[in-house]
């Protein structure tokens, strides 16, 4: 790949739109549910699964479920997408509100 092509590919990647939203991680073995928020829903599963594989996830209960039951027992689902919001503080406040709603609705833990 030429240098110009590579630079253009990187620039295009950085300009792509990311979808913020609320997600749930479910453990099929125990029925436990964890709800969290992400600024980029497409990347969050890879990020969380990496920390779980390394044994360094900050949520001890989620890490225990991963260790006890394995990756195949956990699934990540998108609960809600937040429309593009120009102002970061408005988006963050909306995400916080929606996460609380879903935690209450699903009787879930925080990620």
For residue range 9-38, list pLDDT tens digits in order: 877 776 767 789 999 999 999 999 999 999
98 backbone dihedrals φ, ψ, rounded to 5°: -70, -35
How far is residue 4 from each of residues 10, 80, 99, measured CA to CA in Å?
10, 38, 42
CA angle 46, 20, 65 (to 5 degrees): 40
DSSP symbol at 91? H
- What gap in Å lies between CA 70 and CA 84, rounded to an integer? 35
pLDDT of residue 85: 74
User: Which fold does the domain 17-110 belong to in CATH?
Assistant: GIY-YIG endonuclease (3.40.1440)
* Residue 72 burial (CB count, 10 A): 8
Q: Which residues contact 9 (CB under 8 A, 6 or more apart)?
A: 1
* Sequence spans of domains, the chain: 17-110
DSSP summary character for residue 84: P
What tens-digit pLDDT sequence spans the chain (111 residues)?
A: 788 888 888 777 767 677 899 999 999 999 999 999 999 999 999 999 999 999 999 999 999 999 999 999 999 999 999 987 778 889 999 999 999 999 999 999 999
- Structure confidence at residue 9 (pLDDT): 80
Cα separation values, 72 from 26, 55, 69, 83, 111, Å: 11, 16, 8, 31, 18
């Amino acid at each position: 790949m030429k240098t110009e092509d590579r630079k253009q590919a990187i620039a295009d990647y950085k300009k792509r739109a990311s979808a913020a939203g609320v997600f749930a991680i479910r453990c099929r073995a125990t029925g436990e549910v964890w709800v969290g928020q992400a600024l980029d829903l497409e990347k969050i599963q890879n990020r969380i699964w990496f920390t779980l594989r390394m044994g360094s996830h900050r949520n001890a209960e989620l890490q225990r479920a991963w260790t006890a039951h394995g990756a195949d027992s956990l699934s990540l689902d998108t609960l809600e997408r937040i429309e593009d919001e120009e102002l970061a503080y408005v988006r963050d406040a909306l995400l916080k509100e929606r996460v609380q709603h879903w935690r209450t609705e699903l009787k879930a833990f925080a990620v």
